[in-house]
Chains A and B, each alone.
Chain A
Amino acid sequence: MFELQNVEKRYPGVHVLKGVDLKIGDGEIIGLVGENGAGKSTLMKIIYGAVQHDAGNVLVDGVPVHFRTPRDAMQMGVGMVYQEQSLISNLTVMENIFLGFEKPFIRFGAINWKRMSEAARKQLRKVKLDINPATITSRLTFSQRQLVELAKVLALEERVDGKLVILLDEPTSVLSKDEIELLFSLVRELRRRASFIFVSHRLDEIIDLSDRIYVLKDGAVVDVISADEAQIETIQKKMVGREINREYYRENRQIPYNKDDVLLELDHVTVAGRENDVSLKLHAGEVLALVGVEGSGREPILRTIFGMRKPEKGTVSIRGMTVRSFSASQSVSHGVGYIPRERKIEGIASGMNVFENMTLSQMKNYSKGGMLDIAAERELARDWIRRLSIKVASENVDCGNLSGGNQQKVVLAKWRSGGSEIILLDHPTRGLDIGAKEDVYEMVRDMSVDGVGIILVADTLEEAIGLSHTIAVIKDGEIRKWFNCQPGAKPSLYDLIQHMV
């Protein structure tokens, strides 16, 4: 039996897990659901030892344990089948299964491949995979690799006294229908050997497979539902169930956009590496939110618009001019600005001061013959520090030392001062505290008033609904549904979620 009692986790500025209780009996299958940002992934990381909890207890068969590394967890019988595959692709299947546990196969300093191969076959039989254990992992299909991962975790069985606890993170996201069926029947069979924690966005699958379902919201378990009584709608309502605060999102400042002024148009665009077909129009003053689950294909669309990816098919046009060569510098010169999700990696150059960051994308406006006009740069920075009330001692301060909100303002100032008319916002409020979030919302409204077109990938659904004029729901890389978001007639969270999962 595996149990979490009152588990807490905080990161600077965020309370990720607020006293989570969770209990898994032997042979039980638990479903774990929650919106993006509800704390699912942190919870899983604590369970398999990749992250340590701040307070509360983790109990295995009633005994408190402390996992410092995933290996610690493995030695107590807790293993993880990763969504983004954790097999080392240049090694053979058997080497992957026994990586770090090669000792029993060593004879006179050499690995006895025959014995390892036999032992691997035994594990592979558990998952009904009939492949040669000496196959190089990169040659397997995706679903085969997933089964090998499962076999790797099941190999713990022989090394651990008690029963296993196996986490399955979105195991079905890239499997075909038949493969999913196969996996599920396998998991049901394996419950003699192990209990499972099953994490998925697909609620029908969760209900189908699990015994009980934990619903996580804002870092806390809001309900535990028995699968017999579970219905998709009730779970969905529990996952979101929040009132949208109009004032918070500055809805009173939302004004209609100009329908005749098209800034950006995607016409049947196929994003590289995906077989999709995306068409959309962005107008001056419009906030267009792309909404979808993690991995649904929102970021690739943003990156295509910013020129960092070249579309395979279709045309992108900016202000009626078809874009022919795709590069970030082309897009910037066409007036596109990009506020990336990873602010500290792609947004802000720490080690450089405020004015250096602000003019980075527009140095040609502040130089003559390659020589910088530093006085003008400072002037610009002081102006924008005032306009956005950035809290900073002077324009000479290293941006790496600013708070997240002020960093985000500097990034926004960089694009706005450069005259960008199309702004791509990728999770602009991620990791910001509430006050800083409100500042960002103000700025979004300011930009709309100025006729800037904004494409938003929001941190939460509420944010997308609150801020946008238009919402495109994206699933599997395609736009599945359009919503009009006039103030007072906004769609509900539930309306959106229906089309997302």
Chain B
Amino acid sequence: MNQFLAMENFRKWIPLLVLIGLALFFTAVNPNFLSFRNFARIAISASPALMVAVGVTFVILMGSIDLSMEGTVAVCAVLFALMLNALGGSIAGWGWMAIPGTLFVGAILGAINGLIHVQLKIPSFMASLSLGFVGIGLSLLITGGNRIQIEDPIFRSLLTLRIGGFALMSYAALAALLIAWFIQDNTTIGRNFYAIGGGEDLARSSGLNVGKLRITGFVVAGIFFALGAIFAVARLGIAETETGRNFMFVSVTSVVVGGTALRGGSGGVWNTLVGVLIVNVIGNGMVVIGLPDYFQDGVLGLLVIAAVYLSTDRRSLSFVK
């Protein structure tokens, strides 16, 4: 029993060890990796991805999955830019309303997603994938395929303002992570997500309204996707359909690599932070040591297979589709 517990405790730390190992490896190949400026760069590129990954973490904790992020991020990014520009173009003026407005849009998209999954009883991966396609189409329809520029210097200060070397965006992402942590550990819905992931039947017989909780999970995810969209716009200064690109693969990989199990019930937002950092360190490190960035998808693909493989208890599973 003790040996088993020790093993389990060790397992918990594997993702962090992998992260440290990767950092050491890239530093050994090219010492430039280990620089403050490079870390600040990784922090910026990781901020939008962290928000999206944290969002999907809640859904995965329940044992479902949300693959709608590319569409949701695209719609939120585009609507955010339009709202901001329509409200005077500056966060300092009425433009700030675009932020809650976008979070609301994210929540609505998440609610639609959850409702379709729960009410029509469609597996979440397919319901959310379909809605992701709808979202991409919607954002294309809104923009007509064009880019929307954001010129507001105050909004862009999320990227440009540096405090202690790190961009303001990174601090904002950290704050959002702390909120997510609070939701996860200290609220009833957060704890009930774990209950559903740990045993849906048992949770239901204890009287939890599982359907409602699932929908709530998708709403929370949608809000975090919207946050990710805002950071992504701040980072590039433009909003377009492409803003959502690649978030699906990267965020799901991050969550899984961070050690949150796909079957639900274990892991959490701190795991996701580690996972996002692993993914971004790999992306950054490959560039630093001179490998073309297009290897990234392949490497992440292998990583995700390895992570799911290692985290799955195959004895308890009979049939996997």
From A50, A69, A71, A88, contact of B195 by CB (8 A)? A88
Interface string of A138-153 (1 = CB under 8 A from B): 0100000000000000
Interface string of A70-104 (1 = CB under 8 A from B): 11001000000000001111110001000111110
Interface string of B194-214 (1 = CB under 8 A from A): 110111001101111000000
A222 contacts partner chain B, Cβ-Cβ < 8 Å: no
Q: Let me know if A111 and B187 touch, CB within 8 A.
A: yes
Are A91 and B207 also in contact (CB < 8 A) when A86-B202, A111-B186 are? no
B320 contacts partner chain A, Cβ-Cβ < 8 Å: no
From B182, B198, B207, contact of A88 by CB (8 A)? B198
A109 contacts partner chain B, Cβ-Cβ < 8 Å: yes
Q: Which residues of B contact A103 (CB under 8 A)?
A: 188
From A71, A87, A90, contact of B197 by CB (8 A)? A90
Taking residues whose C-beta sits less than 8 angstroms from the other chain, chain B's interface range is: 10 to 19
Interface string of B244-267 (1 = CB under 8 A from A): 000000000000000000000110
Q: Let me know if B188 and A69 touch, CB within 8 A.
A: no
Q: Let me know if A88 and B202 touch, CB within 8 A.
A: yes
From B195, B197, B199, contact of A95 by CB (8 A)? B195
Q: Which residues of A contact B182 (CB under 8 A)?
A: 110
Task: Count A-B pairs with CB separation below 8 Å.
Answer: 58
Closest beta carbon of chain B to A210's beta carbon, Å: 26
Are A91 and B206 also in contact (CB < 8 A) when A109-B187, A111-B186, A139-B5 are? no
Q: Which residues of B contact A69 (CB under 8 A)?
A: 205, 207
Closest partner residue, chain A, to B209 (CB atom): A100
Closest partner residue, chain B, to A112 (CB atom): B186
From B186, B187, B194, B205, contact of A90 by CB (8 A)? B194
From A87, A90, A91, A106, contact of B188 by CB (8 A)? A106
Q: How far is the CA of A101 from the CA of B187 in the complex (A)?
A: 13
Interface residues of A in 131-168 (CB under 8 A from B): 139
Closest beta carbon of chain B to A254's beta carbon, Å: 38
Q: Which residues of B contact A90 (CB under 8 A)?
A: 194, 197-198, 265-266
Q: Which residues of B contact A113 (CB under 8 A)?
A: 186
Q: Let me know if B205 and A88 touch, CB within 8 A.
A: no
Interface residues of B in 163-196 (CB under 8 A from A): 182, 186-188, 191, 194-195
Q: How far is the CA of A139 from the CA of B265 in the complex (A)?
A: 15
Q: How far is the CA of A101 from the CA of B203 in the complex (A)?
A: 12
Q: How far is the CA of A355 from the CA of B199 in the complex (A)?
A: 39
Closest beta carbon of chain A to B315's beta carbon, Å: 10
Closest partner residue, chain A, to B199 (CB atom): A88
Q: Which residues of A contact B195 (CB under 8 A)?
A: 88, 91, 95, 99
Closest partner residue, chain A, to B205 (CB atom): A70
Closest beta carbon of chain B to A115's beta carbon, Å: 13
Q: Let me know if B199 and A111 touch, CB within 8 A.
A: no
Number of interface residues of A (CB under 8 A): 23
Q: Let me know if A50 and B266 touch, CB within 8 A.
A: no
Q: How far is the CA of A100 from the CA of B210 in the complex (A)?
A: 11
Closest partner residue, chain A, to B182 (CB atom): A110
Q: Which residues of B contact A50 (CB under 8 A)?
A: 205
Q: Which residues of A contact B266 (CB under 8 A)?
A: 90
Q: How far is the CA of A102 from the CA of B190 in the complex (A)?
A: 12
Closest beta carbon of chain B to A213's beta carbon, Å: 28
Q: How far is the CA of A90 from the CA of B187 in the complex (A)?
A: 16
Q: Which residues of A contact B199 (CB under 8 A)?
A: 88-89
Q: How far is the CA of A71 from the CA of B204 in the complex (A)?
A: 9
Which of A88, A95, A102: most chain B Cβ within 10 A?
A88
From A86, A95, A101, contact of B191 by CB (8 A)? A95
Q: How far is the CA of A230 from the CA of B187 in the complex (A)?
A: 52
Q: Which residues of A contact B198 (CB under 8 A)?
A: 88-91
Q: Which residues of B contact A70 (CB under 8 A)?
A: 205-207
Q: How far is the CA of A74 from the CA of B207 in the complex (A)?
A: 9
Q: Let me know if B207 and A110 touch, CB within 8 A.
A: no
Closest partner residue, chain A, to B207 (CB atom): A71
Closest beta carbon of chain B to A31's beta carbon, Å: 25
Closest partner residue, chain A, to B195 (CB atom): A88
Q: Which residues of A contact B203 (CB under 8 A)?
A: 88, 99-100
Q: Which residues of B contact A87 (CB under 8 A)?
A: 202
Interface string of A355-377 (1 = CB under 8 A from B): 00000000000000000000000
Residues of B at under 8 Å CB distance from A? Answer: 5, 182, 186-188, 191, 194-195, 197-199, 202-203, 205-208, 265-266
- The 24 sampled A-B contact pairs (Cβ below 8 Å) are A70-B207, A71-B205, A71-B207, A74-B207, A86-B205, A87-B202, A88-B195, A88-B199, A88-B265, A90-B194, A90-B197, A90-B265, A91-B191, A91-B194, A91-B195, A91-B198, A95-B195, A99-B203, A100-B203, A100-B208, A102-B191, A103-B188, A109-B187, A111-B188
Other A-B contacts than A69-B207, A99-B208, 16 sampled, CB-CB below 8 A, are: A70-B207, A71-B205, A88-B194, A91-B191, A91-B194, A91-B195, A91-B198, A95-B191, A99-B195, A102-B188, A102-B191, A106-B188, A111-B186, A111-B187, A111-B191, A113-B186
- Which 3 interchain pairs have the tightest Cβ spacing? A71-B207, A100-B207, A88-B198
Residues of A at under 8 Å CB distance from B? Answer: 50, 69-71, 74, 86-91, 95, 99-103, 106, 109-111, 113, 139
